[in-house]
Structure 1
Amino acid sequence: MKVLIAEDEFYNRWVLSKMMASYGNCIETDNGEEAVQTFCWACRKKEPYDLVLLDIMMPALNGFEVLERIRAFEKESGIENLQKTKIVMLTSLEEPEYIDQALNEYGADSYLTKPVQLETLRQVLTDLGFFPQELDMQQEAV
């Protein structure tokens, strides 16, 4: 699995990378603009990401703007529903309107609130159709 982690906090990126290391190759970005560029570049090279873990509150572009641009790029590129990259929004905001906006308005596949727990992340990945290997790390929170 190829994973893009878009998170502006260094420690959160580090923990998410550790959590995802057994699942596959992780690439990290620390702002929204870089996340969009990295995503599009990989798609153009025919090496798309399987999963994007996307923080909502980031510099340059926020997570909603990133998600909107990724989905627009997929549409323009002819990437159909089942071929779309799975995108999980990450945030400390538990407001129902943010969840609804992420999932229904912008097209996120799932939503996790911080601190992200390993078991919760595993469950989301399983729900999205990924079959994770056992991870040999202690449960750390982001």
Structure 2
Amino acid sequence: MRFLIVDDDESIHLYLQSILAPFAQCDNAMSGAEGVDFFVRAHSERRPYDVVFMDILMPEMDGHKAAELLRKEEIKLGIREVDQFHLVMITSLVDNRNVSKAFFNSFASCYIVKPFDKDKVLDELRTNMIL
């Protein structure tokens, strides 16, 4: 499996990598735009990401916009819904607007609120049949 972690906080990259490394190769992007670039490149190399962990609050391009662009890229590539990546939102935002937007606009598989711990992350991924 391949995971992409998109977050502007390097400590989140390090923490998630320590949790997820036994399950997948993890790549890190520091911004929404960089995450989109990684995603497009992965498809062009025929090595797409299975899961994208996306922070919402990032400068320049927020996680909602980046996730929207990733979904549009999948449509452009003709990827069937069953083969689309799993989107895991990782954020400190817990308001209804952001939660609804993640699930209904970007088709997130799960929404994990920061700060999180190893058990919470793994439980969410297992509950949503990602691991």
Compute the TM-score of the two structures, normalised by the length of structure 1: 0.88
Question: Hey, what does 1:102 align to over in structure 2?
Answer: 102
SS of the residue corresponding to residue 4 of structure 2 reads strand
Question: Hey, what does 1:122 align to over in structure 2?
Answer: 122
More helix by share: 2
Give the letter aligned to residue 82 of structure 1.
V
Question: Hey, what does 2:4 align to over in structure 1?
Answer: 4
SS of the residue corresponding to residue 82 of structure 1 reads helix
2:15 pairs with 1:15: yes
Whole-angstrom CA distance in 2 between matches of 1:129 and 1:92: 23
Q: Which runs of 4+ in 1 moved over 3 A?
A: none
* C-alpha RMSD over aligned residues: 1.1
Q: Once the two structures are superposed, what CA deviation does each residue of 1:58-104 show, in whole Å capped at 9, x if it has no partner?
A: 12311001100000000110111110000101110111221111101
Compute the TM-score of the two structures, normalised by the length of structure 2: 0.95
* Offset of residue 126 of structure 1: 1.2
State the identity as a percent.
28
Question: Hey, what does 2:86 align to over in structure 1?
Answer: 86
Aligned 8 A contact 2:68 2:105 in 1: no
2:77 pairs with 1:77: yes
Whole-angstrom CA distance in 1 between matches of 2:90 and 2:42: 22
Q: Which moved more, 1:66-75 or 1:102-111?
A: 102-111
Q: Which 5+ residue runs of structure 1 have no aligned equivalent?
A: 132-142
Aligned residues: 131
Q: Once the two structures are superposed, what CA deviation does each residue of 1:8-64 show, in whole Å capped at 9, x if it has no partner?
A: 011111111111111111000101100000001101111000111100011231100
Whole-angstrom CA distance in 2 between matches of 1:55 and 1:6: 6
